[in-house]
Amino acid sequence: MPLITYRQAINDALAEELTRDENVIIMGEEVAQFNGAYKVTEGLLEKFGPKRIIDTPISEAGFIGIGIGASLLGVRPVMELMFWSFAYVAFDQMINNAANVRYMSGGLMHCPIVIRGPANGGTAVGATHSHTPENFIANTPGLKVVCPATAYDAKGLMKAAIRDNDPVYVMENTILYNEKWEVPETDYVVPLGKADIKREGKDVSIIAHGRAVITSLKAAEILKAEHGIDAEVVDLRSIRPLDEETILASVRKTHRVVLVEENKPFCGVDAQIAFMIQDKAFDDLDAPIRRVSSLDAPQVYSMPLEKLQIPDAHRVIAAVKTIC
Amino acid sequence: MTKKASAPSTAETAAKPASGLAHKDAPINAQLTKEQRIDLFRQMVRIRRFEERTLRVYQQGKIGGFLHLYIGQESVAVGTVSLKGQHDHYITAYRDHGHALAVGMSMNECMAELQGKYTGCSKGKGGSMHYFAPDKNFWGGHGIVGGQTPLGAGLAFGLKYKGLKGSCLCFMGDGAVNQGAFAEALNLASLWALPVVFVIENNGYSMGTSLARSSAATPLAKRADGYAMDWEVLNGANIWEVRARTAEAMKRAHESCRPTLLEMDTYRYRGHSMSDPEKYRDKAEVEEYKAKHDPINLLRADLLADGTLDEATATKIDDEAKAEADASAKFADESPFPPPEEIFRDVYWETDNPDKRTSQGRLFFND
C-alpha cells in the first residue's frame, strides 16, 4: 500500500468524489487559483475547472450560506474553512440554517453539505486561530461531526461525508497534513459513527479523537516499554454519530479509562464520553475515569507554553499512572 | 446599469386610483385576463382575512410564541409571486404568512402550524416564522433577521449551476439591511452574477426602531451601488408597480444572470409581533396609511373603476376569504397535536430513512 500524506488523502477523496458526482463542488477561500491555503485542494482547479472549484472572497457567512442554499436544490457543496476558527462568523448559517431547516420544515428539506478545514492548536497562531469546535457542533442535533486522525481515516471519512445527505462537518489538523500513512488505492469509505481500535491492549483504554489519537499512541508505546502497561487506544473518528459500542467494549475489557482530547475541558467531547461510560459501564470500572484536555485558557501564542497547553504523551502517561 | 430612486413618498400615484394606478399599463399587467386581475385581489384579501383570523386565535391563547402579521403589505407578496415561473424560487424572513399563501400553501396547513398541530405545514415543528413548501418553490420562513439572504443567493447559485433559467426572490424587512450577512450576500450575488432579486419590504420599522433610527442613509436600496448592482425604489402598495418593476428585475436574472436590489415602500398596520404595544408611532400615522395606502383598498377601487370588479363580486370574494379563514381555524382546532415521538423525526435525513442509512453509531443522546 502506498504511503501518502493526510493532505494528499483528502485531496484524493475530493477528486474522486468530484469525478463520481457532478453535483459536488468545492468552495472556499484560496481553494482554486492559490491551490488551497494548506494545499489540500491542489490541482483540483486544473482538473475540474472554475465552475466546480470556486474561490470565494473572505466572507464566511456569505459563502457558507450560499452553499447551504445551493444544497437545498441538490448541489453538494464541500466548503473549505481556512481554519475552523473562522466558523464563528458563519455560525448563524451553520447552526440556525444548516442544522435546523430539515426539522423546522417537518422533513421537507435536507441539506447535503460538507464543511471542512483544520481545527487545531499547536502552531503558534494565537487564540483566534486555534479553536477546536467539535464539541459546539456535536451539541447541535441535525449536524454530524468527524475528526480524522490518520490519512486513511481522513480519506474514508471525507468520502462518506460527501455522500451523506445530512450536513457533515469535518475537522482536520494542520500538524497532520504532512504526516504519512498507508492508504489503499482502491475505492473505500469509512462509515461515520465507527470507532477504530488503533492499538490493542488490556490494562487501560485510552480514548481519543483527532491528533490526540497520535499523542495517545506515542504514550502507549512508552507505557509498554517503560512501565509495563499495555494500553488500548480507541480512536473515536466520529463524534456525532458516536460509536458507543466500541468504547464500552474496550472499557469492559480493560476496566480503566483515560480520555484524551485537544478540546478544552468544560463541556468538551470527553465530558459526554465520561458521562456515557459511568452511565453504561459503572460496574466495569476499577478506577475513576481520568481526562487529559487542553489547559483551560485561551490558546497561548508562546511556543513553549503552547506545548504545555496541548496534551502530550507525558501528560497522558501521568494520567494513566494514577489509575494503573 | 439602470437605477432609479423614485420620490420617497409615492402617495401621488397611490392617491389616484380612479384614474388607474401607475404601471397598470405595463405589458406584464396589460396582458392579464380579467380573471387573473380579480385573482390578484382575491389572493390579497385571502391573506388579510387569514391573518385577521390568526389574530383572534392568538388572543384565544392557542398560538405559542410569536405572531408577526403581514397586514398592509399584501401587494408585495401577491404581486411578486404572481410572476412565478417554473424555475423561480422564493425565500423570506419570519413575516412569512403572506408569501406562503401567495405561493399556494393552504390556509388549513398554515393555521394548523400556528397552533403546533400535526396537520401543520411543518407538522407543528416550525411555527409562524418557519413555513416551507419546497414543492411550490418556497424555501421559508426564516427566523433570524438577514440570515435568509445568503440562502437566497445560494438558491440562485444552485439554479445557475444546474443551468436552469430561473431566479430567486429573496425578501427581507428594512431591519435586515444592517446585518452583515446581507452585505455579504449582496457582494457575492453581484461578484458571481447570480440570478437573485433581493426585495426589501420597507415598512418603516425594524421592530420598534424607525428607519431613521436604524439606517444611516436612505434609500436603502442605494447600497447596491457599492456592489455594482441594479437597484430601484418603488411603491409597494401598488400591485401593478410591484409586478411591473419586479418583472424587469426577474428578466434581468433570467436573461442576463444579474442580481437586483428592490426596495418596496410598504407599511404594516400591526405591531412587530403581538407583544408589541406600538408606543413608537402615532395612531394617526397608522390610520393615515390605512385610509390612503391600503394595498387592498387601492386595488379594489382600481378594479371597480375599470369595471373588472363589481361590488357584489368584491363582497363575495371577501366573504369567501372569511369563510375559508374560519374553516381553517376550525380545521386547526380539530387537528391533533403531533405525537411525542415526532420530536426525534426530521432531525437527520438518515434516521428518517433507516433503510438507506450508511453511518453507524448513536445519533441521539437522550439519557
CATH number of the domain that A299 lies in? 3.40.50.920
Chain A residues with CB under 8 Å of B337 CB are none
CB contact under 8 A, A73 and B184: no
pLDDT tier, B6 (very low <50, low <70, confident <90, very high otherwise) = very low
| Chain B, nearest residue to A237 by Cα | B361
The confidence score (pLDDT) of residue B3 equals 53
Are A277 and A139 in a shared domain? no
How many Å lie between the alpha carbon of A130 and the closest alpha carbon of chain B?
24
Are A26 and A104 in a shared domain? yes
Chain B residues with CB under 8 Å of A62 CB are 150, 153, 181, 184-185, 187-188
Are A11 and A42 a contacting pair, CB within 8 Å? yes
Chain A residues with CB under 8 Å of B139 CB are 69, 72, 109
Are A128 and A170 in a shared domain? yes
Q: What is the rounded distance in angstroms from the CA atom of residue B305 to the CA atom of residue A319?
A: 86
Q: Which of A27-31, B163-167, B270-274 is the least confident region?
A: B270-274
CATH number of the domain that A86 lies in? 3.40.50.970
Phi first, then psi: give them for residue B265, nearest 5 degrees: -70, 125
What sign for the dihedral angle of Cα A312, A313, A319, A322? negative
Q: How far is CA B301 from CA B5, B9, B182, in A?
A: 27, 20, 37
Are A128 and A175 in a shared domain? yes
A139 occurs within a structural domain: yes
CB contact under 8 A, B361 and A93: no
How many Å lie between the alpha carbon of B328 and the closest alpha carbon of chain A?
20
Contacts of A147 (CB under 8 A, 6+ apart): A119, A134, A170, A171, A209, A210, A236, A237, A238, A239
The confidence score (pLDDT) of residue B286 equals 80
CB contact under 8 A, A104 and B140: yes
How many Å lie between the alpha carbon of A324 and the closest alpha carbon of chain B?
29
CB contact under 8 A, A241 and B362: yes
Residues B334-362, mean pLDDT to the nearest whole number: 97
CB contact under 8 A, A62 and B150: yes
A306 occurs within a structural domain: yes
First to last CA, chain A: 37
pLDDT tier, B248 (very low <50, low <70, confident <90, very high otherwise) = very high
Q: SS3 for A231?
A: strand
A190 occurs within a structural domain: no
Chain B residues with CB under 8 Å of A96 CB are 143-144, 147
Are A145 and A170 in a shared domain? yes
A191 occurs within a structural domain: no
Kind plus residue range of the DSSP H or E element containing B230: strand B230-235
Last residue of one domain, picked from the residues A155, A182, A209: A182
Q: What is the rounded distance in angstroms from the CA atom of residue A219 to the CA atom of residue A231?
A: 9
pLDDT tens-place values along chain A, 324 residues long: 899 999 999 999 999 999 999 999 999 999 999 999 999 999 999 999 999 999 999 999 999 999 999 999 999 999 999 999 999 999 999 999 999 999 999 999 999 999 999 999 999 999 999 999 999 999 999 999 999 999 999 999 999 999 999 999 999 999 999 999 999 999 999 999 999 999 999 999 999 999 999 999 999 999 999 999 999 999 999 999 999 999 999 999 999 999 999 999 999 999 999 999 999 999 999 999 999 999 999 999 999 999 999 999 999 999 999 999
Q: What is the rounded distance in angstroms from the CA atom of residue A84 to the CA atom of residue A96?
A: 17
ipTM passes above 0.90: yes
Instruction: Count CB-CB contacts under 10 A for residue A30.
Output: 17
How many Å lie between the alpha carbon of B183 and the closest alpha carbon of chain A?
8
Q: What is the rounded distance in angstroms from the CA atom of residue B128 to the CA atom of residue B80?
A: 21
The confidence score (pLDDT) of residue B291 equals 81
Residues B337-348, mean pLDDT to the nearest whole number: 98
Q: Nearest CA to A238 among A205, A272, A197, A191?
A: A191
Which of A60, A80, A134, A261 is labelled catalytic? A60
Which of A29, A129, A131, A306 is labelled catalytic? A129
Chain B residues with CB under 8 Å of A57 CB are 187-188, 191
Kind plus residue range of the DSSP H or E element containing B284: helix B283-293
Count of the separate structural domains present in chain A: 2
Is there a catalytic annotation at residue A255? Answer: no
Q: What is the rounded distance in angstroms from the CA atom of residue B53 to the CA atom of residue B62?
A: 12
CB contact under 8 A, A243 and B361: yes
A205 occurs within a structural domain: yes
Write down the CATH number for the domain with range B3-336: 3.40.50.970
Is there a catalytic annotation at residue A306? Answer: no
Q: SS3 for A246?
A: helix
Instruction: Count CB-CB contacts under 10 A for residue B86.
Output: 8
A58 occurs within a structural domain: yes
Are A40 and A135 in a shared domain? yes
Q: SS3 for A176?
A: coil
For the packed helices B74-81 and B239-256, what is the interaxial angle rounded to 10 degrees? 40
Are A19 and A66 in a shared domain? yes
CB contact under 8 A, B155 and A144: no
A188 occurs within a structural domain: no
Domain that includes residue A265, residue range: 196-321
A187 occurs within a structural domain: no
